[in-house]
Amino acid sequence: MTLLLRRVRPEQVRELTLVFILVAVVAFFATQIPNYLAWQTFTDISTGLAIIAVAAVGQTLVVLTRNIDLSIGSVVGLVAYFVGTLLAGTPGMPAPAAFGIAIAMGGALGAVNGVIVAFGRVPAVVATLGTLAIYRVALVELSGAKTVTTDSLPAWLLNLPRMSVVSLGQLDVRPLVLLALAVVIVFQLVLSYLPYGRRLFAIGSNPDAARVAGLPVERDVFVAFLLSGALAGLAGFLFLVRFGNITVVAGQGLELQVVAAVVVGGVNIFGGSGSIVGALAGATLINVLQQSLIRWPAVSAFAQDAILGLLILLAVASDKVILGRLRTIWVQARRRDEERAAATAAEQATHGA
């Protein structure tokens, strides 16, 4: 056990714990809900998850730098609506163009956040709470109370959510899900191996030290917000593909789900630690809980939100306690190892002399 503990960092234990909790949750609901372990459930949940997961990746980048991006819900809604209107107006527009516009628009909206936070030195909570409201009002103004309706959208977009890339028996893997997975993998690699990714950890752990060490803190934070916006834009595109009907309330409240996913996924809200894979696990857990609760006849519609909130609190609190323990044990074990190694080295040195 101690050997295992020494090998595996506490953060990794945590990701494994999440997977374990997820399995437990699924097992529990399988006994409660008839036909729960059906491929249809998997398809429903995974497709819904794709949107949150993509947004959660962006949020992770920002939270790592000890910031937060609360504007995500409005960015998703605004981009989904804008691109939807654009496609309704010019049905001949090629799919990659629509895709690109969504990302670019999200990036631009994110860049605004980045400028305000990184260069304007406004606390991220305040700044993005402001843009959350501003982007939503912009959407209300832009829309003129019109809804983007499915029948005004081109056929390729409507067929996308029904298409399966991989079909194993009754298991359908939707293109949306694959795209989200690709995003997760790419950004996990960025965080693990690229200098930019490593700098985000340094900035979040200790912004002052990072600045003194000569890291381009402002620029990196700005880029994190820009990427978060761009990914929210991508999520907006997925949102449009999935729901088709876009009203002014599209994506409302999404930011809370995304922040919850990131926190449950073990990304430290005070910056400096966490991983994309963890955020994905958090998003999966929350989404599975949500979707399962509304399928569970035993709970009324009113209690669902409260139960979800409670479960999130439990997850985070228990995690804090357990992880704190683990970390202490891990640090002590490492220290003992080092002491022993030092003692051996000293012994060898005296013997050698």
Partner 1 sequence: MRIKHSTSLSLLAGLALVASACGGPAAAPSQSPTQAAATPTQAAATATAGGVAKATPGQSVKMMLLPKFLGILPFAQANKGAGDAAAELKNSTALAFVGPTADNSVQGQIEFMTNAATQGYKVVMISNNAGDQIAPAATAAQAAGVKVVAWDSPIPSAKGENLFVAQVDFNEMGKVMADMALSIMGADGGKFAILSASPDAANQNAWIKALNDALKDPKYAKVQLVDTVYGNDQSERSYTQAQALVAKYPDLKVIMAPTTVGIAAAAKAMQDGKMCDKVKVSGLGLPSEMVSYTINGCAPQFALWSFVDLGYLTYYTSYMLATGAIKGTEGEQFEAGRMGTFKITKDPTRSAGLRVLMGPFKIYDKTNVEAEAK
For the chain, how far is it from start to end, CA to CA, in angstroms?
37
Question: Contact between 161 and partner 1 (CB under 8 A)?
Answer: yes
The single-letter code of the amino acid at 325 is: R
Question: Contact between 165 and partner 1 (CB under 8 A)?
Answer: no
The phi, psi pair for 274, rounded to 5°, reads: 140, 175
Q: Applying CB under 8 A, what is the total number of residues that bind partner 1?
A: 43
What is the rounded distance in angstroms from the CA atom of residue 122 to the CA atom of residue 107? 19
Question: Contact between 294 and partner 1 (CB under 8 A)?
Answer: yes
In terms of CB distance, is 131 or 290 closer to partner 1?
Answer: 290
Which residues ranging from 239 to 268 are in contact with partner 1 (CB under 8 A)? Answer: 239, 242-253
In terms of CB distance, is 3 or 301 closer to partner 1?
Answer: 301
Residues 6+ apart with CB under 8 A from 55: 72, 76, 231, 232, 235, 254, 258
Q: Are 227 and 103 in contact (CB under 8 A)?
A: no
Which residues ranging from 32 to 91 are in contact with partner 1 (CB under 8 A)? Answer: 33-36, 38, 40-41, 44, 48
- Other CB atoms within 10 A of residue 179 CB: 19
Least distance in Å: CB of 169 to partner 1?
16
Least distance in Å: CB of 248 to partner 1?
3
CA 108 to chain centre: 19
Question: Contact between 105 and partner 1 (CB under 8 A)?
Answer: no
Helix (H) or strand (E) holding 171: strand 171-173
Among 1, 301, 321, 349, which residue interacts with partner 1 (rule: CB under 8 A)? 301
| Positions that interact with partner 1 (CB under 8 A) | 33-36, 38, 40-41, 44, 48, 136-137, 139-140, 143-147, 149-151, 161-162, 239, 242-253, 290-291, 294-295, 297, 301-302
